[in-house]
Structure 1
Amino acid sequence: MASAGSSANAGAAARFWEHFQEQSGQIRAAVGAHRDARAQLRALDDAVREALIYLPPYDQKQLAAAMDQLRLLLRQSSASSVRNAGFKFRSATTAKPAAAAAAATKDDEGVPEPPASGSSPAGRSLCFSGLSGRWIAADAADEAQPTDCELRDIRSCVVDLRAAAGSLRALNCHGVEDSVVVCGALAGSATIRRSAGCVVALGAHQLRFEDSHNVDVLVHCTSHPVIERSTAMRFAPYPPALSGAQPDAGAQPSMHAQVHDFNWLRRQQSPNWSQAAAAPAHLQPLWALLDDPRQPLDEALALLPGSASVASTDGAS
């Protein structure tokens, strides 16, 4: 029997497919009528990106392929328009090929580009994979170029993405264990699968955990966080003492204390998550460690939920 969460996701995915088919049809019609469809394509690209949080992997691949076809169609139309314009408006002086190429480049501006890697259909991707015992710090990124970040198979690491927070629109994590992940305010969503024994601090419009256990989640989330097949999840507000890109608490209130557990259908509080008014006291030293130029990995990892020092502190309280 499918869970309520799975049914809700399936319904949302079906509705989005209908929306996508309608919009892609309009874009194709606009291209066929030689109308500028770049704005429509950008809007559809944004809609696809926002839907990734609930779309299954197969649908994501299908949508990525469909978006690639639309981009190609738009580029071919732009190139054709440039060639036709060259013949139609040619003066006595023959246009140089370089001029036509420059015009084609200008016509291509504004067409969303697919990622170099990762699951998001547009923008560039930042990926860290197969790392253990490392202090990972993202470089500063151009805020005008949206970036998706993927963390895959990360063990006993500190991942500090705050320098790139201004450009980050989505975070996707798969198999992150015994690690600290900090990324400040995202422009979009965060999806975290198969995480355990971690501290995660971020701001996002949407947040989803799947198959995760024993995680301290310090978050400013403007929608209901979602957990599925997850246990011992502890939610608290994003720590104001943490430097870097801070979520704008004044713009939209956080709903970190209103978690939806898709595997708990009773009216009573789910036993799989809890909430606190502030980050756990034992994590307070972590904020200073994250700004320490020495990058003290062992000291930071000693504050994780499953560490011996934290266990002894909990036992003494």
Structure 2
Amino acid sequence: METEEEEERLSLPTSNQTLTDPTLHQKHQSMLARLSNRHQTRVDNSLARRSDSDSNSPSSASAFLSRFSDSKRSIEAHIVQSRLDHPTDPSEVKSHLDSISASISDLEKLVAESSFFLPSYEVRSSLKAVSDLRQSLDNLSSELIPKKKFAFKNKASKRDPATEPKQTTTEEKSDSVSTSHEKLGFQVRDSPGFRDKKGEILVENFKGSEIGEFTVSDLDSCEVKLIGSVRALFVHRLRNCRVYAGPVIGSVLIDEAEGCVFVMASHQIRIHNAKGCDFYLRVRSRPIIEDSSGVRFAPYCLSYEGVEEDLRDASLDEETGNWANVDDFRWLRAVQSPNWSLLPENERVRMVNILDLGGGIEGN
């Protein structure tokens, strides 16, 4: 059967006809133009398909795995070498550990940026490897910078342990937070942050600071405002809180949140054990939820003076649309997980100016 293009070619007037009839000549030129446009369209579509195929080809995944493996081996070698030969000056030790931590964050960023073409199991495997590296670094940090032990010079009067209420020390609280995060492969130990607050407005400005990691933990009915960029953000045990955060260069980990609102921008966001929470996100990779229910998602909507510059510096100035592409690691069926949904537009808050939300207590 002849195609439409072939029929048009057959219906073209002969060269002798076009020379003697101006009308036929015009028709001839018009048909040639249409045929040329169709050919160019086919060429463009073919090139586009080839480009898409190349970007999602196995070679792209192979290139990622090769680069990931090389970086992972390099970081592991630095950690091993640091145990054998490390600086003795405490400030140099801290600088050395921060350098390794930054390399791990870069590796985590690589996973986030490559996740759109990687199979899910490769993403999970890579994230697990990054978590193991952070665990190794935390163990190294504990060896090189041991925790201070508290001691009392004067003996206290003897008391009956059975009748005394148990007092939780700051160190025990920190260890409790660390243990919880270890479930997801993270340890948060001695990092700056907000902890154990109720009904307060809490403000931290990272501009000009050297804070790499920040923790928000054990808050009830609080409003948290984080201005500027930080490398990693850990959120643990929040209830009825609102958290407004500038760009996070590495990753955000949220564990145990109920009835909260989060406005965040990050390269990677992992959410564990969240119930009835709304997330307004800008994220380079697909958000990950685990053991969560009733969580809803909408686009990032935070504003403060300098936010656009902060987003550019963190490579988060472009909207990827991934806030709407959520992976539920506990839901293995082909249909969408019932544990999350898009926040209806008529229920979304519009742009939130973080500086219009009132003052508060600065972080420690």
Aligned runs of 1:246-261 on 2, under 5 Å? Answer: 246=308, 247-248=311-312, 250-251=317-318, 253-261=320-328
Task: Give the C-alpha shift of residue 230 in structure 1.
Answer: 0.5
Task: Give the C-alpha shift of residue 293 in structure 1.
Answer: 3.5
RMSD: 4.2
Question: Contact between 1:226 and 1:259, CA under 8 Å: does it hold in 2?
Answer: yes
Which runs of no fewer than 5 residues in structure 2 stay unpaired?
Answer: 1-68, 88-92, 109-125, 147-173, 179-185
Instruction: Show the counterpart of 1:219.
Output: 281
Aligned runs of 1:226-237 on 2, under 5 Å? Answer: 226-237=288-299
Instruction: Show the counterpart of 1:268.
Output: 335
Question: Contact between 1:219 and 1:236, CA under 8 Å: does it hold in 2?
Answer: yes
Q: Would you say 1:243 and 2:269 are equivalent positions?
A: no
> How many residues were matched structurally?
228
Residue of 256, 267, 289 corresponding to 1:194 = 256
Task: Give the C-alpha shift of residue 283 in structure 1.
Answer: 2.8
Question: Contact between 2:79 and 2:137, CA under 8 Å: does it hold in 1?
Answer: no
Instruction: Show the counterpart of 2:240.
Output: 178
TM-score of the two chains, using structure 1 as the length reference: 0.58
Q: State the distance in 2 between where 1:212 and 1:122 align.
A: 19
Task: Give the C-alpha shift of residue 260 in structure 1.
Answer: 1.0
Instruction: Show the counterpart of 2:49.
Output: none
Instruction: Show the counterpart of 1:154.
Output: 219
TM-score of the two chains, using structure 2 as the length reference: 0.51
Instruction: Show the counterpart of 1:24.
Output: 79
Q: State the distance in 2 between where 1:283 and 1:251 align.
A: 20
Q: Would you say 1:129 and 2:190 are equivalent positions?
A: no
Pick closer, same or farther for the CA change 1:229–1:19 going to 2, 3 Å. farther
Task: Give the C-alpha shift of residue 42 in structure 1.
Answer: 5.5
SS state at 2:101 partner: helix
Instruction: Show the counterpart of 2:140.
Output: 66
Q: State the distance in 2 between where 1:281 and 1:45 align.
A: 39
Which runs of no fewer than 5 residues in structure 1 stay unpaired?
Answer: 1-14, 73-115, 296-317
Task: Give the C-alpha shift of residue 155 in structure 1.
Answer: 0.6
The residue identity in structure 2 corresponding to 1:206 is Q
Instruction: Show the counterpart of 1:44.
Output: 100
Task: List per-residue Cα deviations over 1:150-201 (Å, max 9, x = no partner).
Answer: 1111111111112xx23x1111111111110001111111100110111100
Q: State the distance in 1 between where 2:251 and 2:74 align.
A: 20
Task: List per-residue Cα deviations over 1:207-235 (Å, max 9, x = no partner).
Answer: 01001111110011011111000011111
Q: State the distance in 2 between where 1:122 and 1:230 align.
A: 22
What percentage of aligned pairs have identical amino acids?
A: 24
